[in-house]
Amino acid sequence: MIVGLKKAILHILDASSGVNVFSDELLDIENAEINTFITKHIEKIYESAALRPAEFKETSGFRAKIVQYRNGDISFAELSRNAAERINDAVAASEEPKSCDLIVCEFVVNEADIIGILKCDNKTGMTHTVVQSEGHVLNNIINHYAILPPVSQKIAECAFINKDTEELRYAGKNHKIDGSAVDIIAELLLECEYEISPRESANTVTRVAKKVALENGADTIETVARIKEYVTKNIEENTYDYVDTDEVADMVFEGLPGMREEFVQKIEKAGVPKKVEVNNYLTKKMTSNVRLSTDTGVELSFPPEYYKNPEFIEIITNEDGTISIKINSIKEITNR
């Protein structure tokens, strides 16, 4: 992914002192260090499966500001300040307010013009300082209270808005405000309706399938193996861009209509869409090997299609209730 940074501005929201510094001027994106810092953070999170698809409410005040900016009625600095003031009001109202810097940027990716909002929580770290007094030099170590997140770290709260189509994706987390858990990015900045993310959807499908199998006395290992086998087969054949949860239900609970119906009802209640977008996270998680850990400390990892295939693996329940695992067709063992 190549990000073309067009504009960026930084606002300082100091929750400890209550003194905020709203910038009137844009950052110098021709500065290589500034440009790299912002673009690396965008690249780290922009295609993440943790981002939730969302849609502005008709009454969203921030959506109105996006429209004004798109129409040339307000400047980029004015748009960014509106975002910063909304975030500041939310942070100040929370039970544990934390200082942050807010980077608002505009960039191009895949020919789309995107408005990005990155909430950078300040970290405390140690740094050095040099003190000179009466001809003597003291090199000291002090706390620095406003360290920005390094580019190796994903930003936990952010939003990306397509300037033209208003397509919206975001990542947020709950903050305690007046005793309630509030997602300040979704509810107080963007004012949007949102779906659960592809990551949450994939995890929920697997978790609910295992729960239904366990509660009905079915084999939970086989359940997970069947899900992985279904996804792997379809991704390899490149037959679709989504995982169809109805097809998952058909394959995992084949011949078990009661369990299938229970599974479908539970994932609908959890908010999982009928079609879960296939992305890098889902591809990696859902096509990975089945992993087993035993109470004796033995760990096994094998392709999902090997499970209950006696040519490769046999799981045997012994008369005393213990379980034996037999691995077949081995030609070579490598020590790793």
Quick one: which H or E segment has residue 314?
strand 313-317
What single DSSP character describes residue 11?
A: E
What 3-state class would DSSP assign to 97? coil
Angle in degrees, CA 12, 172, 106, rounded to 5: 55
Question: Rounded distance, CA 35 to CA 229, Å?
Answer: 42
pLDDT tens, residue by residue, 181-222: 899 999 999 999 887 777 788 788 888 988 998 899 888 888
What's the pLDDT score for residue 103?
Answer: 96
What 3-state class would DSSP assign to 329? coil
Question: Rounded distance, CA 212 to CA 253, Å?
Answer: 10
pLDDT tens, residue by residue, 246-273: 888 888 898 889 999 999 999 888 888 8
pTM: predicted TM-score of the whole model, two decimal places: 0.69
What's the pLDDT score for residue 322?
Answer: 83
**Predicted confidence (pLDDT) at residue 135 exceeds the cutoff of 70:** yes
Residue 145: band (very low, low, confident or very high) from pLDDT cuts 50, 70, 90: low
pLDDT tens, residue by residue, 277-291: 766 655 666 666 777
What 3-state class would DSSP assign to 48? coil
